[in-house]
Amino acid sequence: MQQPPDRHQITTYLQGLQEQICTALEQADGSGTFREDHWQRPGGGGGRSRVLADGTIIEKGGVGFSAVEGEASEATLRQLNLTDRAAGPPPTFYATGVSIVIHPRNPRVPIIHMNVRYFELSNGTYWFGGGIDLTPHYVVPDDARWFHQQLKTVCDQHDPSYYPRFKTWADDYFFIPHRQETRGVGGIFFDYLKESDTVSKADLFAFHRAVGESFAPIYTHFMQQNHNLPYSPREQHWQGLRRGRYVEFNLAWDRGTKFGLETNGRTESILMSMPPQANWIYDYHPEAASPESDTLAWLRKGVNWADV
């Protein structure tokens, strides 16, 4: 029987994943290089943040690794739905992961996000989580179909139930309630994955790795395919507005952002997902039957991209 991975093995793997992804992005961009910052968390642990700015294709991109630990505050336990526990001092936690957000220069290249993470408590509770989702400034159905097919292939290699479950979870998670629109065309999202009678910790770690390793081939495909497509000030204007929606989701609804801030994580690293510029226009409505209004029509839950 395969030995279950421990947190040291998982952490070492994630450090290497950050390296692999940064190398692939630099090669695909052609001119940009990542700046690296090492940081320590006062309560325990730290991380390695890497940011690429003003590249040929990537206007701003962050690839962060962290491994933090400490006492789990009541606020953290509430966020993790762990308030129903035995009396006594709160448990300590250990959390490690890689988180990525890329904002491209050309509005025809989509924004992308990925996060793969592992969390454990001193009481023996652990889980894997993560996901990958695509936020085009302009929705192109062929691109969305291709993206979802890549994710479905990854999921199906581990469990055929994963893609439909995690695709629906992504639709629900990457949703902006105050706008009544999805952040983009979705992807997959999963959390609290634990071993059971049918799946081992080693199996879950294999799936976790497969999701992480899918990122570079998927996004470099879009970089290479779309970065030379023409665009005008009109498309840049729309890009700024869509970036504004991205900011709204991350600051108001994203659990990872809230967890980082509530556990005294490094603010610069937590907020490196923010775009270099974003715009808000009061009560803005695009012209009817325009590419912009067509994009808004796609930003809804439940689109079965496999059949569109």
Q: Which residues are catalytic?
A: 113
Q: Pairing mode, if any, of strands 126-135 and 58-71?
A: unpaired
- The rounded distance, in Å, linking the Cα atoms of 97 and 125 is 17
Residue type, 197: D
Spatial neighbors of 19 by CB under 8 A, at least 6 apart, are none
What's the distance, CA 266 to chain centroid? 18
- Tell me if residue 160 falls in helix, strand or coil: coil
The dihedral built from the CA positions of residue 121, 70, 251 and 184, taken in this order, carries a sign that is: negative
Burial 218-241 (b: 16+ CB within 10 A, else e): bbbebbeebbeeebeeebeebbbb
β-strand partners of 35? 51
- The rounded distance, in Å, linking the Cα atoms of 115 and 119 is 13
Q: Whose CA is closest to 166, among 183, 189, 147?
A: 189
Q: Whose CA is closest to 44, among 113, 122, 106, 105?
A: 122
